[in-house]
Amino acid sequence: MSVRPPSLFSSRQEQSLNVLDYELLAEKAAALGRAGERVGEALARLDAHSGDAESRRGLVKAAADAVYGYFVQRELCGYRRHDDAIRHYGIPREVLARLGAA
């Protein structure tokens, strides 16, 4: 014989879980937006660079780190393919190569 809590308790529990799920999804989306902003800023610095090769390597590394974090956050949100993000941000091959993706 199984015992179930009264329906009064189960509906509140389901409702509280739905609120928690909603908040988690909202935070994932906000984190994805922040990660996207970091990618945009890093790629803008890389595009604007006109200095020596050593400083460019540092900018490529920073851009690759930002893109990596963005890809991880996308995967946490359920997006497994990154082709659209690569096109949207115009991520250069040298950055993707640093991630092992090119």
Query: Measuring CA to CA, how many Å separate 76 from each of 28, 59, 98?
Result: 8, 26, 21
Residues 39-50, buried b or exposed e (16+ Cβ, 10 A)?
beebbeebeeee
Mean residue pLDDT across the chain: 87
Q: What is the pLDDT of residues 9-39, one digit of tens each?
A: 555 556 666 888 888 889 999 999 999 999 9
Residue 19's pLDDT is what?
Answer: 83
Give φ, ψ of 49 to 5 degrees. Answer: -70, 135
Q: Residue range 52-79: average pLDDT?
A: 95
Residue 68: is its pLDDT beyond 80? yes
Q: Which residues 6+ apart lie within 8 Å of 20 measured at CB?
A: none
